[in-house]
Amino acid sequence: MEKLILVNKKDGIAGYEDKEKCHQGKGVLHRAFTIFIFNNKNQVLIQKRSKNKLLWPLFWETSCSSHPHRGETCLKSAEKRLKKELGFTCRLESVNKFQYRAAYKNIGSENEVCAILAGKYNGKIKPNPKEVADWKWIGIEELKKDVAKNPDKYAPWLKISLKYI
């Protein structure tokens, strides 16, 4: 069972808990990251989450999101996750972080201190179908307009993190 890093509101480590338990009910505050990958046309890569995801299946989200593993930095874990979900990796840098809680129907919740990471990439995308249902490049202003017009198509962490990009 995958253990997530529990944190306090200042992002200090408070323990470890099973991923499943962290997402039950109102959720347990844990560490996460979300990634924005940009290309040379200043477009951002977004993905539609797999239908197999427990929370927010088939919603559009950032390029990639997940949780760091015990003993790993967000940056190191994010590079590995990019490779697993999208078939590539690139240099990432930390942009900001935010805390949020969001419930998905009566199924569960995210309750996270979420690091925002960004990188540049112009190569081939090889999505893992177990993780990603679809993907596309989109201009950041076009994305912001569509999120405002169609908020129910997007995961909550994308909507929040767009304020920092």
For residue 60, the enclosing domain spans 3-164
pLDDT classification of 165: cutoffs 50, 70, 90: confident
Report the domain count for the chain: 1
- pLDDT at 153 (0 to 100): 98
User: If you count them, how many residues does the chain have?
Assistant: 165
List, for residues 40-98, the tens digit of each pLDDT value.
999 999 999 999 999 999 999 999 999 998 888 999 999 999 999 999 999 999 999 99
- Whether the CB-CB separation of 85 and 3 falls below 8 Å is answered with no
The mean pLDDT of the chain is: 96
- DSSP conformation letters of 111-139: EEEEEEEEEE--S-----TTTEEEEEEEE
Cα–Cα dist 79/55, whole Å: 22
Report in angstroms the alpha-carbon separations of 138 from 17, 41, 129, 151, 156: 36, 9, 20, 16, 18
CATH number at residue 28: 3.90.79.10
- pLDDT at 31 (0 to 100): 98
Decide if pLDDT at 7 tops 90: yes
- pLDDT at 69 (0 to 100): 86
